[in-house]
């Protein structure tokens, strides 16, 4: 048995010794209380240290999450063709066994042969999913789901958006969002329109008791074209030095529009988007600091994608995606610096976790390794 598999077994053994089911165990044992219980039955010192580090754990147990996109291969594979966990219900069981307490959805589809059928994107499907989440001590915290593309909205788009809010409430989510940037444009006018749309959507979501969030890729932290000579279509060709998503923060309503920083892509932006052409034509250098965006707006970043990267300057992005805790991004420094400790929800993500037919168990193995590293992260 590997080290991380041994860690996974600790919780199950403890629950059996205490005579508790998983929900009772999770309600009774968090933080230092969990560490004391592990000590009482002779659990390994590493588990105690993770819960009672000298400066406290940086990601408390109830906040340790995973976006299901990371294990999409397991959710989508045919349960009749493999003994590995397949479909939402069995994957939830495995994630709960590992120790995760939060998930972020990436849609509601699974293999047609899985329990519940191919799609659970409905009110009835949400009730089924909620039961499986509850059974395994998991809480849904968000979803990369449907956001209307049009502005002003078409009625069918608006109706579908409201249905997703209803699904979110059934699942118990505090947040609902998307995996895309507010707009892919570089131009200020398009970001102004995007803010209008998101302010309107955010107000609708707020009325439903949900915080609406958008998600970044690296290009969202490139520089806004907002000044200088105009091109043939009347668009600006130079920048005042403000980054696109930083501008969006200033023009969107902080009461109803929230953000999920993908920390990996923010570091890619730090590597890639370092210069801009100023209004006077000079080339200026400005190295991006992800914390400088989060720190003054910390309550607007309720979720993070905790995606790790190993430095590789031979690639265009400057990093290769790797399991959490095995890369070069300084997550201890990041989570020490974000402020509002204990209020953020980091979701482990790794786009390349699925191993395909050559290594079909890999994404869940990476999920276990990443959970162990997330639990060990201390200030």
Are 118 and 21 found together in one domain? no
Q: Which of 14, 36, 52 is the last residue of a domain?
A: 52
The predicted pLDDT at position 167 comes to 98
Are 45 and 160 found together in one domain? no
Are 193 and 333 found together in one domain? yes
Are 64 and 29 found together in one domain? no
Q: Which of 26, 52, 78 is the last residue of a domain?
A: 52
The domain that contains 300 carries what CATH number?
3.20.20.150
**What is the pTM assigned to this prediction?**
0.86
Report which of 377, 353, 371, 309 is spatially closest to residue 3, judged by C-alpha positions: 371
The predicted pLDDT at position 340 comes to 84
CA-to-CA dists, residue 203 to 9, 120, 169, 200, angstroms: 44, 26, 16, 5
Are 260 and 184 found together in one domain? yes
The predicted pLDDT at position 331 comes to 97
CA dihedral 330, 243, 272, 264 (to 10 degrees): 30
Report which of 254, 260, 174, 171 is spatially closest to residue 213, judged by C-alpha positions: 260
The rounded distance, in Å, linking the Cα atoms of 132 and 143 is: 16
CB distance 240 to 227 below 8 Å = yes
Q: What residues contact 42, with CB distance under 8 A and at least 6 apart? A: none
Are 106 and 10 found together in one domain? no
Through-space distance between the first and last CA atoms of the chain, rounded to whole angstroms = 29
CA dihedral 31, 35, 36, 39 (to 10 degrees): 180
Are 48 and 63 found together in one domain? no
Number of residues that make up the chain: 379
Are 249 and 182 found together in one domain? yes
Q: Which of 31, 52, 73 is the last residue of a domain?
A: 52
The predicted pLDDT at position 339 comes to 87
What domain range is 144 assigned to? 56-375
Question: Total structural domains in the chain?
Answer: 2
Are 15 and 98 found together in one domain? no
Give the SS3 label for residue 274.
coil
Low-confidence ranges of the chain (pLDDT < 70): 1-55
Tell me the average pLDDT of the chain.
88
Are 42 and 157 found together in one domain? no
Are 248 and 344 found together in one domain? yes
Are 330 and 187 found together in one domain? yes
Helix or strand (DSSP H, E) at 320: strand 319-322
């Amino acid at each position: 048995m590997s080290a991380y598999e041994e860690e996974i077994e600790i919780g199950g053994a403890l629950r059996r010794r205490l005579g508790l089911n998983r929900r009772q165990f999770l309600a009774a044992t968090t933080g230092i209380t969990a560490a004391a219980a592990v000590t009482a039955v002779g659990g390994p010192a590493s588990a105690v240290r993770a819960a009672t580090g000298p400066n406290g754990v940086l990601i408390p147990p109830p906040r340790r999450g995973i976006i299901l996109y990371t294990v999409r291969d397991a959710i989508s594979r045919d349960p009749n063709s493999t003994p590995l966990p397949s479909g939402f219900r069995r994957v939830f069981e495995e994630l709960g066994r590992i120790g995760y307490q939060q998930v972020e959805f990436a849609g509601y589809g699974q293999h047609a042969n899985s329990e519940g059928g191919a799609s659970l994107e409905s009110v009835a499907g949400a009730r089924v999913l909620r039961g499986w989440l509850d059974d395994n001590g998991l809480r849904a915290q968000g979803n990369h789901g449907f956001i209307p593309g049009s502005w002003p909205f078409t009625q069918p788009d608006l109706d579908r958006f409201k249905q997703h809010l209803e699904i979110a409430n059934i699942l118990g989510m505090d947040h609902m969002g998307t995996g895309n940037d507010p707009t892919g444009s570089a131009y200020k006018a398009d970001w102004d329109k995007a803010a209008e749309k998101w302010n309107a959507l955010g107000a609708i979501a707020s009325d439903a008791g949900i915080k609406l969030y958008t998600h970044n890729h690296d290009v969202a932290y490139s520089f806004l074209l907002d000044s200088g000579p105009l091109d043939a279509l009347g668009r600006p060709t130079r920048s005042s030095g403000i980054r696109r998503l930083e501008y969006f923060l200033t023009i969107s309503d902080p009461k109803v529009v929230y953000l999920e920083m993908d920390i990996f892509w923010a570091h890619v932006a730090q590597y890639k988007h370092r210069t801009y052409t100023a209004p006077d034509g000079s080339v200026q250098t400005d190295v991006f600091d992800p914390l400088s965006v989060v720190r003054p707006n910390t309550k607007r970043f309720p979720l993070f994608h905790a995606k790790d990267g190993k430095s590789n300057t031979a690639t265009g992005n400057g990093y290769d995606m790797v399991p959490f805790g095995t890369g070069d991004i300084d997550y201890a420094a990041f989570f020490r610096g974000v402020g509002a400790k204990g209020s953020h929800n980091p979701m482990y993500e790794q786009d390349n976790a699925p191993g395909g037919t050559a290594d079909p168990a890999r994404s869940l193995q990476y999920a276990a390794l990443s959970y162990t590293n997330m639990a060990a992260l201390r200030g």
